[in-house]
Amino acid sequence: MNKDKQEEGTESASALIDQRIEALADWRGETLAKIRLIMRKADPDVVEEWKWRVPTWSHSGIICTGESYKSVVKMTFAKGASLADPAGLFNASLEGNTRRAIDVHEDEVIDENALVALIREAVKLNTSKPSPRGRGD
């Protein structure tokens, strides 16, 4: 089930994301659309939001944003520093204590299986309960 959160008095987040993809009208729009499909494949319960004027995907907290720039489409994972990334997808914002990002450049092929695994890891982190204090686990 695809959910959609919107800010009060605005169009739906899904409609705003559709508009962003259409407005880009180049490889960046195609890449953002592909990321959106992968997001939905990885987590059928993902919630599409429109925050900070960019597409944002959440499930019990923010998974990532999908920003578009002139030469890159950037997926910024809110808790990326806490995620295992065995495929080495994170290639930007590596110095932070919390976030990590994936910059996708024109003609770059997205490793869909690795990205699905990373998204699922982010959802798992968002939905897991913290260990009780003092238990050491």
pTM for the model: 0.86
Share of the chain above pLDDT 70, in %: 87
CB 21 within 8 A of CB 27: no
φ/ψ region of 115 (left if φ > 0, alpha if ψ in -120 to 50, else beta) reads alpha
User: Which tokens go with 87?
Assistant: 């495929």
Strands of the 47-51 sheet, one edge to the other: 3-4, 47-51, 54-58, 62-68, 73-77, 100-104
* Size of the chain, expressed as the number of residues it contains: 137
Per-residue pLDDT for 83 more than 60? yes
Nearest in space to 2 (alpha carbons), one of 34, 44, 42, 41: 44
* Span 34-79, pLDDT tens digits: 999 999 999 999 999 999 999 999 999 999 999 999 999 999 999 9
Helix, strand and coil content of the chain, in percent to the nearest 5, comes to: 35, 20, 45
pLDDT value, residue 10 = 52
CATH fold of 3-126 reads Aspartate Aminotransferase, domain 1 (3.90.1150)
Q: How confident is the model at residue 11 (pLDDT cuts 50, 70, 90)?
A: confident
The mean pLDDT of the chain is: 90
Per-residue pLDDT for 113 more than 90? yes
